[in-house]
Structure 1
């Protein structure tokens, strides 16, 4: 059976990261995680470097503004921290309204990918809901985007936001294929109200079907917000993933 890799996007624990980064990573490791997806690694580079040496956690991936930010600096710092995949977390909605706009956005990310290759870093993209809301001859904007990407650029499919946008995450995974290397997993009702988000397995998401559709993708727990203790949400999410992801 394929080894299941579990990770957590540290944006979920951002308040704790800002007050006690080493302690937060220690708590994440104690939950049973072996991997993390770094948040604001450029700002907290030195703190991450020290804390990662004190835990078994591996920084498989990280988010950084690549298309509109300083991609060269992000790639350099990612290489220093041993980050394997650097992911653009958001390209604004107005750049997804026409096919030409989408293809231009893909070209920008391809340029970053070429820059990152020499550093041994893979580049990826993370979606929200706006990338799947508009129809382009039976395909979502995210699919048009994927077709315009270089072969080695990957996708981190935020399964919840895909469903909120009206797409089936399972069907998207099937159509996007092996380019989907990471899954963002959270739960809740299909609403844009962030505080209504829930731990994985406690809402409307077809979690088991999603996991079966992407057996090789890294499972990344990520909540944009949560009404309770985010550490509890992360812990409960991991427990559910381990139970159903067999």
Structure 2
């Protein structure tokens, strides 16, 4: 990790005083600052301690992620605990969860996480279809039931390809409507929702409390989305600089009872963009 990046991060944080509580009267964003650990995918393999120190310096106290390579869940949790960072959610691959959810459940418990999210349904690229959706519904209901029985909430994280038209809606609608609300909840990734041609605001109005987690990220203005579930990293911009209606999304997410919000910066400029994204959230008013 480059020292100049860390110094820039610390200087920016100091100027913005981002460690202040977000729960101020009139503030729209009143929840602990969260981050998806994938944001620092380039940094964690180089220096886990320095990366966690950077996250702490930003005032972040909530994380979605798992133990980096070379660390056990207990070891990573200890490092996070020492910095006041709670790991509230972690992830699991579709195949591993479908085969047996218990290893992922045990890892989540060791991390102190209450949620496990799955971020991808196997399918042919740009050709997500009804059979994929039906299989996912069957697997998600079974996985979610096992997780609930073990004190964990299962969430599916959308990636945009699910918004293929189906009947009077989309295949995403099919998944939401056919999964059992007792066992399956959702994590809305607002960039991928927008990129897939859906409206995050409309979905929050439609499905409300099915959403428990949220990825906060913004899509560059002028970018036209598609159903591939992919876009170049340069299209991931500072929150508030893109085309996603973040203030209205946050208003509705609060109303729906979303529990955790994680900034996920998939650009290659996370050290530059993260402080700006946090400052943007802090600036939002009711």
- Ranges of 4+ aligned residues in structure 1 off by more than 3 Å: 39-44, 66-70, 93-96
TM-score by length of structure 1 reads: 0.89
Kept after mapping to 2: 8 A contact 1:9/1:39: no
Partners of 2:63 and 2:261 in 1: CA distance: 10
Q: Which of residues 203, 212, 216 is equivalent to 2:242?
A: 203
1:78 aligns with 2:108: yes
Q: 1:140, CA displacement in angstroms?
A: 1.9
The structure with the larger Rg is 2
Asked whether the 8 Å contact 2:74–2:111 carries over to 1, the reply is: no
Using the size of structure 2 for normalisation, the TM-score is 0.77
Instruction: Show the counterpart of 1:130.
Output: 161
Can you give the 5+ residue segments of structure 2 that lack an aligned partner in the other structure?
1-24, 226-230
Does the aligned pair in 2 maintain the 1:66–1:112 contact within 8 Å? no
- Does the CA contact (< 8 Å) of 2:62 and 2:86 recur in 1? yes
CA distance in 1, matches of 2:213, 2:135: 23
- How many residue pairs align between the two structures? 242
Correspondence for 2:212? 181
Shift of 1:43: 6.5
2:89 equivalent among 61, 64, 67:
61
Q: Is contact 1:211–1:245 with CA below 8 Å preserved after alignment?
A: no
Distance 1:97 1:66, change over 3 A: closer
Unaligned runs of 5+ in 1: none
Q: Which stretch has the larger CA shift, 153-162 or 182-191? A: 182-191
Distance 1:116 1:81 in 2: 15
Whether the 8 Å CA contact 2:119–2:156 is kept in 1: the answer is yes
Note the alpha carbon deviations across 1:52-90, whole angstroms, 9 max, x for none.
221111111112214445532111111111111000011
Residue-by-residue CA offset, 1:217-241 (whole Å, 9 max, x unaligned): 2221112233x2x133222212211
CA separation in 2, counterparts of 1:161 and 1:83?
A: 24
